[in-house]
Structure 1
């Protein structure tokens, strides 16, 4: 199973490191990352494999949201099933 993590906010040192460290802490494998810095704004989309995660998906999402708030960022985590449901006719 996979999930998508999006991060948006003011650019600063360590955003990618912080998010990927949390993923590693809970055995979530980062599969793909794309990021852009538009002037002083940071935007990142990260695809992760959550099939071997050591915590439930909801707890991972809550942890990332909390860290985002602490850093002044918006971090949203969406399960792959949401995408599949949205695009299934």
Structure 2
């Protein structure tokens, strides 16, 4: 199963490293990453694989939400199922 992790907030040093560290901690594989700075706001989108993740989906969301609070940024995890459901009638 895949998911999308988004990170938005004021640009600071180490954002990618911190998010990547949590991915490694939970055994989440980063498959693709895009990042940019838009008017001093850091924006990142990561496509990840949860196939070998060591935590359940709620724990993954909670861990990234806690990271977002720590970094004073918005960090969200959206599983592929949500995107699939949006395009299913």
Report the TM-score when normalising by structure 2: 0.96
**C-alpha deviations, 1:13-59, integer Å up to 9, x for none?**
00011001100111100000000111311000001000110011110
Q: How does 1:1-89 map to 2 (within 5 A)?
A: 1-89=1-89
Q: In the aligned structure 2, how far is the partner of 1:56 from the partner of 1:46?
A: 19
Report the TM-score when normalising by structure 1: 0.96
Gap runs ≥5 in structure 2: none
Gap runs ≥5 in structure 1: none
Q: Secondary structure at the match of 2:13?
A: coil
**C-alpha deviations, 1:48-76, integer Å up to 9, x for none?**
00011001111011100111011110001
Q: In the aligned structure 1, how far is the partner of 2:82 from the partner of 2:26?
A: 21
Equivalent pair of 1:34/1:44 in contact (CA under 8 Å): yes
